[in-house]
Structures are given as structure tokens and as C-alpha cells.
């Protein structure tokens, strides 16, 4: 098991979510070994981190390969019932774009699909999101952002994987541009009152909540956002409820994994200044 110190910048290499099994457009998703799906690189032990600590995982850089995969399969994504036949597309990454077709460029926006730590109780598959992080598929997990997590085990036991060259909110088609690459991270111990995963980014703080339904995920995330606003502003719960209702954005991170993930974004001007110390470089 690898071990890093608090504040140490380290690099993890990752396979794509298919573990490199889809090497050409002749390979279809139904034919690969799904036991190898969504493997993450880790665990990485963070020295000095104890259960009950909150850590901030800073994303310094994401480097991606020169091509990715977009595989369609019957049942995949929110319109998966319309997919009659499996189909694979190898997607080139050149000139700052991914090329869905030769005439359809989309700007590259590398992000991390899986980033998490060991869960409190029994082990959880890397395809699952939760309070431990995991398969959050949140496009805000990009270079320059940070993920806040409550630690359940000595050393946190961090893992990362499932990179995307670009992914839209919701990952509605069941896939981003799945791609191999490497990530540079560092970990700090911080003081933070939230219990759910949260992404600190230039525009604000996004609380991430995962549940069986999107409605329930929104309820969980909004409840935590109200509690944070109550603490940060010294408000009654009722006034924190009123205030949070008019300032936050409710967004969808993904709704194609075993649990749906919603995010409630609190704009930066409403966040405490000490939350925005040094940002990843």
C-alpha cells in the first residue's frame, strides 16, 4: 500500500472505466468482463489521518490519453430502452477537443469520476457513490477543485479512477468520454462541519448527496446546506431555510449509477473565508 504525508503532492495513474478492455470499435460493452469495470487506483494511506477527521483532497492536475471510449449498449443511460444494438466509438482527443464525429468537436474538460476513501462499515463497490465519495461522477471534480470527506479509517485509504475527457451533468447517456490518464493530488486535514462529500471550487461549495432517487438526494443535500448556512451565519433554522432556498443552485451530478447524486451549490460569497485558503495549483 502506498503512503503519503499530509500536503505531499502525489500522482496516480488510472485505466479507463473498462480497464482497457475496449481497444477497438469491434469490442462491444456486453462482451467485456464487467468484474473489471470501474477499477480505481489505490488505496493510498495518508499518514496521520484518523477516523473523525475531515480531509480536503486537492486536485492539482489531470492528464488524459489521446483517445477515449463511448460505448452504447441496450439499457444504458436514461434513454437506454431506445438502444437496439450495442455500438462502440473510439473518440480522438486532439487540439483541445474530443471528436464525437469528425464534424462534432466538444471542448475537453477533464474530470474525475471516482474519488473516495474507505467507507465506515462494509466495503462498497467502486461503482457506488456515497458519504465516502466514490463514483460521484461530478463534472466539478477537475483540476483546481477539492473534495471534502469525513474520514472513517486510519489513513483514510484513498482511491481514484474513472477519468473522463468530458462529461455532461447527469451523465445521462450512461457514459462520458471514458479515458485513461493520471491525476496529481494532495491531502490536507481541515476543519469543516459538513458530513456529506462536498466539492470546493472557484464558484462555491457544492454539497453532494446520493440516494435511491434524485428527489431524496436533493432533500439530503439541501438539508446539509441549510445546516451549514445556519452555522456559518448564526441564523435560526427557519431563517437559514429561507436564505438557503433563495441562494443555492440544485443540480444533477449523475443519475445512471446504482444511486443518483445531486449537488446543492452554495455560491462562494456565502461561504466562510477560511474555506477558501490555498487553492490547488
Q: Binning pLDDT at 50, 70 and 90, where does residue 224 land?
A: very high
The residue length of the chain stands at: 281
What is the Cα–Cα distance from 222 to 249, expressed in whole angstroms? 10
DSSP-assigned states of every residue in 32-101: S-GGGTT-EEEEEEETT--TT-EEEEEEEEEEE-SEEEEEE-TT-STTGGG--S-EEEEEEEETTEEEEE
pLDDT over 80 at 87, yes or no: yes
Segment 133-144, tens digit of pLDDT: 999 999 999 999
pLDDT of residue 279: 74
State the average pLDDT for the chain. 97
Three cell numbers written together for 150: 469525513
Q: What number is the average pLDDT over the span 240-255?
A: 98
pLDDT of residue 61: 98
**SS3 for 4?**
strand
**SS3 for 176?**
coil
pLDDT over 90 at 277, yes or no: no
CATH fold of 2-50+60-124+156-190 reads: Jelly Rolls (2.60.120)
**SS3 for 147?**
strand
Q: Binning pLDDT at 50, 70 and 90, where does residue 273 land?
A: very high
pLDDT of residue 1: 87
Residue 178: DSSP 8-state: B
- Cβ distance 55 to 187 under 8 Å? yes
pLDDT of residue 17: 97
Q: Report pTM.
A: 0.96
What is the Cα–Cα distance from 27 to 137, expressed in whole angstroms? 24
Burial call 76-92: b when 16+ CB within 10 Å, e when fewer: bbeeeeebeeeebbebe
CA 195 to chain centre: 16
Other Cβ atoms less than 10 A from the Cβ of 193: the count is 12
Segment 29-51, tens digit of pLDDT: 999 999 999 999 999 999 999 99
Where are the domains positioned within the chain? Answer: 2-50+60-124+156-190
Biggest distance spanned by C-alpha atoms of the chain:
60
Amino acid at each position: 500500500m502506498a503512503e503519503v504525508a499530509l500536503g505531499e503532492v502525489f500522482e496516480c495513474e488510472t485505466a479507463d472505466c473498462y480497464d482497457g478492455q475496449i481497444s477497438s470499435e469491434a469490442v462491444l460493452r456486453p462482451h467485456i468482463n464487467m468484474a473489471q469495470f470501474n477499477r480505481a487506483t489505490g488505496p493510498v494511506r495518508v499518514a496521520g489521518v484518523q477516523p473523525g477527521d475531515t480531509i480536503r483532497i486537492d486536485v492539482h492536475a489531470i492528464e488524459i490519453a489521446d483517445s477515449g471510449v463511448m460505448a452504447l449498449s441496450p439499457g444504458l443511460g436514461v434513454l437506454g430502452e431506445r438502444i437496439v444494438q450495442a455500438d462502440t466509438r473510439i473518440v480522438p482527443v486532439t487540439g483541445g477537443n474530443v471528436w464525437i464525429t469528425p464534424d462534432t468537436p466538444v471542448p475537453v474538460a477533464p474530470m474525475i469520476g471516482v474519488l473516495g476513501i474507505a467507507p465506515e462499515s462494509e466495503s462498497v463497490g467502486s461503482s457506488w457513490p456515497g458519504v465516502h465519495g466514490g463514483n460521484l461522477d461530478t463534472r466539478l471534480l477537475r483540476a483546481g477543485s477539492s473534495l471534502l470527506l469525513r474520514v472513517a479509517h486510519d489513513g483514510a485509504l484513498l482511491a481514484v479512477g474513472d477519468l473522463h475527457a468530458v462529461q455532461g451533468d447527469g451523465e445521462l447517456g450512461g457514459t462520458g468520454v471514458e479515458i485513461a490518464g493520471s491525476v496529481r493530488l494532495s491531502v490536507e486535514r481541515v476543519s469543516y462541519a459538513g458530513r456529506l462529500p462536498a466539492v470546493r471550487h472557484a464558484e462555491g461549495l457544492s454539497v453532494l448527496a446520493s440516494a435511491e432517487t434524485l428527489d431524496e438526494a436533493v432533500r439530503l443535500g439541501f438539508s446539509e446546506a441549510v445546516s451549514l448556512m445556519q452555522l456559518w451565519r448564526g441564523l435560526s433554522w427557519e431563517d437559514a431555510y429561507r436564505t438557503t432556498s433563495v441562494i443555492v443552485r440544485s443540480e444533477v451530478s449523475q443519475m445512471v449509477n446504482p444511486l443518483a447524486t445531486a449537488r446543492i451549490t452554495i455560491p462562494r460569497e456565502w461561504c466562510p473565508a477560511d474555506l477558501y485558503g490555498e487553492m490547488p495549483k
